[in-house]
Amino acid sequence: WGPIVIDKGENGKVSFGDIIEGLFEYFQQPLLPHEADVIERDFPDVWQQVTRAFEQRCREHHWIPEVEWARGVRRVDCLGERHMFWGMWVTHNANGTFQLNLG
């Protein structure tokens, strides 16, 4: 899926809230049909975990489960039961850039 990019705000800074919002938006994206096909075909055990996570999310959704079901599988479902935020740390790269690592 590629990196999660968080743009600097108008003040040139990124807040913790910006990061959390970016993570949320990233993992709320629907799983594209070709992505689902690859997982189902090449990793059937993983696909079972994804579908179980999807079904659980729909059952436990605070809105209307039928609406969530109709929206389909999302990236967050690929995390299975591992969807808790653990933390983050910075890695400084040799070229003067840095990256924020998430766990």
Q: What is the pLDDT of residues 60-79, one digit of tens each?
A: 877 777 888 889 999 999 99
Residue 2, pLDDT above cutoff 90: no
Residue 45, pLDDT above cutoff 90: yes
Question: Does any domain span residue 72?
Answer: yes
Amino acid at 89: W
SS3 64: coil
The total of structural domains in the chain comes to 1
Domain that holds residue 55: 16-82
Of 63, 2, 59, 55, the C-alpha closest to 29 is: 2
Segment 30-49 shows an average pLDDT of: 96
Question: Does any domain span residue 11?
Answer: no
Distance CA 60, CA 55 (A): 9
**pLDDT attached to residue 73:** 96
Question: Does any domain span residue 43?
Answer: yes
Segment 1-11 shows an average pLDDT of: 82
pLDDT band at 33 (very low <50, low <70, confident <90, very high): very high
Distance CA 81, CA 38 (A): 21
Question: Does any domain span residue 92?
Answer: no
Q: Quick check: pTM over 0.75?
A: yes
